[in-house]
Amino acid sequence: MRVVAGEFKGHRLRAPRGMRTRPTTDRVREALFAMLGDVSGARVLDLYAGTGALGIEALSRGAASAVFVERNPRAAATIVANLRSLGLDDRVRRVDALRFLARAEGTFHLVFCDPPYDSVARIAGPLSERLPALLAEGARIVTESDKRMPLELPFPLLVERTYGDTRIAIHSSPDVA
């Protein structure tokens, strides 16, 4: 697995051993960032970060900052190692994503949400409730899930694509009342 484009293009990223972490493939990341376009200056939140590949790809393409949220200790250590190998600061929060959302401060322009596929039914509601408070004006939320059990959020859907069994959906932030 490598960084696809930008400042860190071609840099190899580590992944934890085993099947619990499912890194987003290079091909899917390339297609996703083509859909997103320019992410320069964005504040990024990478929930269920796994290897950190999505947030790192955003940083490589000019995002201003990224926070990586991952509760699995092995995966979190892998993200730290990936960040350090690029000369980046440790921005990893070792906590459950829903717990992080309940007490996080600040806003984000781009949120990646790639939870374990078997948890989407349990987390869709809490994500829908907690995410809006952290979204900057014009923010986008990217979800990655299994196409047979999609993570569906009640935010305006901008684009949806499937790559094999993987569903990528890009939502815009809900209108502020």
Task: Decide if 125 contacts 119 (C-beta within 8 A).
Answer: no
Query: Domain segments of the chain: what residues?
Result: 26-172
Cα separation, 67 vs 121, whole angstroms = 24
Q: What is the pLDDT of residues 86-136, one digit of tens each?
A: 999 889 999 999 999 999 989 999 999 999 888 898 999 999 999 999 999
CATH T-level topology, domain 26-172: Rossmann fold (3.40.50)
Cα separation, 177 vs 57, whole angstroms = 33
Side-chain half-sphere exposure of 12, counting CA atoms within 13 A:
2
pTM: 0.92
Q: What is the pLDDT of residues 2-55, one digit of tens each?
A: 888 999 998 999 887 764 556 677 788 899 999 999 999 999 999 999 999 999
Q: Any idea what the Cα angle at residue 167 is, between residues 162 and 169, rounded to 5°?
A: 105
